[in-house]
């Protein structure tokens, strides 16, 4: 690659400028989906092309970058995006939530509360919360602009009538600042309460669908529900097998062919930090108590 062809963080400055404008507009209208001219990235759609573009637009040489995929720092997606920005931007990277200034995430919010000055970038597959109920884009846009959100409750109604409770467990729709209904990306609904009143900036990028939306710090975010079926964040009812945490979101792992299973924190950084601090779970030689 010649010197002229190289630009900090892969995208050219004009593209970053365009993306930043979309981000600023998104921050000005929390929850509103801003169209942007998504670029081809050197990765397939569905692998975080939207998130990568947003990260590229907000990264500065002084940033410390962290990538998580379902909470983990060490999966293929996380490792390859992290090394992508190591190569193209030369930024420092970390796996520690606290040290990172920009965190790109797929489908999780870190367990550790984020602070002011941090940016959380979500990868979004389908930004339109109404899409599966109303396939026409022209119609969903009109519904957003006229605040016609009755249909969203039809989905929740269907859940209750079929399963006896609201069975939607991820990508649980939220209402932002009493105005826009937003898809929080496929995070578990366990993470929904963290969306609201968060100190960090939250940016959402959908590459294939060419939409960016955002939540500025300390935004009011309410999960939709019924009066007689209130929203409940849910998680597996177990302590973590590795670090014995009872307050974190857990992954269920099948460990043998006999149906043996263990539950372990999906946030690897959180789990490792707890183990280092001496919390040992029952599958890790401990007694199971915190």
Partner 1 sequence: MTPLLSVQGITKKYGAHIGCADVSFDLYPGEVMGIVGESGSGKSTLLGCMAGHLTPDAGKVVFDTRTDGPRDTLTMSEPERRMLGRTDWAFVHQHARDGLRMGVSAGGNVGERLMAVGERHYGDIRDKAIDWLGRVEIDADRVDDRPTTFSGGMQQRLQIARNLVTGPRLVFMDEPTGGLDVSVQARLLDLLRGLVRDMGLSAVIVTHDLAVVRLLADRLMVMKSGRVVEAGLTDQVLDDPQHAYSQLLVSSVLQV
* C-beta of 63 vs 128, nearer to partner 1: 128
Q: Which of 40, 162, 237, 287 binds partner 1 (CB under 8 A)?
A: 162
- Residue in this structure with the two tokens 């409940």, named with its chain if needed: 232
* C-beta of 154 vs 199, nearer to partner 1: 154
126 part of the interface to partner 1, by CB under 8 A: no
**Which residues, 39 to 98, sit near partner 1 by CB under 8 A?**
none
Confirm if 270 and 264 have CB atoms less than 8 A apart: no
- Residue in this structure with the two tokens 């590229």, named with its chain if needed: 56
* C-beta of 154 vs 254, nearer to partner 1: 154
158 part of the interface to partner 1, by CB under 8 A: yes
What mask, x for binding partner 1 by CB under 8 A, covers residues 127 to 146?
Answer: ------x------------x
Q: Residue 164: is it exposed, middle or buried by C-beta count within 10 angstroms (0-12/13-18/19+)?
A: exposed
Q: Which of 60, 157, 167, 289 binds partner 1 (CB under 8 A)?
A: 157
What mask, x for binding partner 1 by CB under 8 A, covers residues 221 to 260?
Answer: -----xxxx-------------------------------
Confirm if 200 and 120 have CB atoms less than 8 A apart: yes
* C-beta of 98 vs 229, nearer to partner 1: 229
d(CA 86, CA 88): 6
272 part of the interface to partner 1, by CB under 8 A: no
Tokens of 117: 């000055």
Number of H helices, E strands in the chain: 7, 12
154 part of the interface to partner 1, by CB under 8 A: yes
148 part of the interface to partner 1, by CB under 8 A: yes
- The CB-of-179 to partner 1 minimum distance in angstroms stands at 14
Q: Which range, of 1-9, 153-161, 168-176, 234-242, touches partner 1 by CB under 8 A?
A: 153-161
d(CA 185, CA 180): 15
178 part of the interface to partner 1, by CB under 8 A: no
CA-nearest of 21, 33, 206 to 106 is 206
CA-nearest of 246, 204, 238 to 221 is 204
Active site residues: 31, 240, 243, 265, 271
How many CB atoms are closer than 10 A to CB 25? 16
Instruction: Count the site residues for partner 1 by CB under 8 A.
Output: 17
Backbone dihedral region of 71: left (phi > 0), alpha (psi from -120 to 50 degrees) or beta?
left
- The CB-of-169 to partner 1 minimum distance in angstroms stands at 18
Q: Residue 217: is it exposed, middle or buried by C-beta count within 10 angstroms (0-12/13-18/19+)?
A: middle
Longest CA–CA span in the chain (Å) reads 63
151 part of the interface to partner 1, by CB under 8 A: yes
- The contact set with partner 1 (CB under 8 A) reads 133, 146-148, 150-151, 153-154, 157-158, 160-162, 226-229
């Amino acid at each position: 690659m010649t010197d002229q062809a190289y630009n900090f963080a892969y995208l050219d400055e004009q593209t970053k400028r365009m993306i930043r404008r979309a981000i600023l507009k998104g921050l000005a209208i929390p929850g509103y989906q801003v169209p942007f001219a998504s670029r081809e990235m050197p990765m397939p759609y569905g692998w975080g092309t939207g998130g990568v573009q947003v990260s590229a637009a907000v990264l500065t040489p002084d940033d410390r970058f962290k990538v998580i995929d379902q909470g983990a720092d060490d999966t293929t997606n996380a490792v390859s995006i992290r090394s992508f920005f190591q190569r193209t931007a030369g930024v420092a990277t970390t796996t520690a939530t606290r040290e990172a200034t920009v965190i790109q995430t797929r489908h999780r919010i870190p367990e550790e509360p984020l602070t002011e000055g941090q940016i959380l970038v979500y990868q979004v597959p389908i930004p339109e919360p109404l899409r599966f109920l109303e396939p026409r884009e022209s119609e969903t846009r009109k519904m957003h602009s006229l605040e016609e959100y009755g249909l969203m409750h039809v989905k929740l109604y269907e859940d209750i009538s079929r399963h006896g409770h609201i069975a939607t467990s991820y990508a649980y729709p939220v209402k932002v600042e009493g105005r826009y209904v937003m898809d929080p990306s496929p995070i578990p609904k366990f993470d929904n309460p963290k969306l609201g009143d968060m100190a960090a900036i939250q940016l959402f990028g959908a590459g294939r669908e060419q939409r960016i939306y955002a939540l500025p710090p300390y935004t009011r975010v309410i999960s939709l529900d019924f009066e007689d079926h209130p929203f409940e964040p849910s998680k597996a009812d177990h302590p973590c097998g590795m670090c014995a945490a009872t307050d974190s979101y857990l992954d269920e792992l099948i460990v043998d062919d006999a149906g043996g299973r263990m539950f372990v924190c999906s946030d690897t950084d959180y789990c490792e930090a707890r183990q280092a601090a001496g919390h040992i779970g029952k599958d890790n030689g401990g007694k199971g108590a915190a």
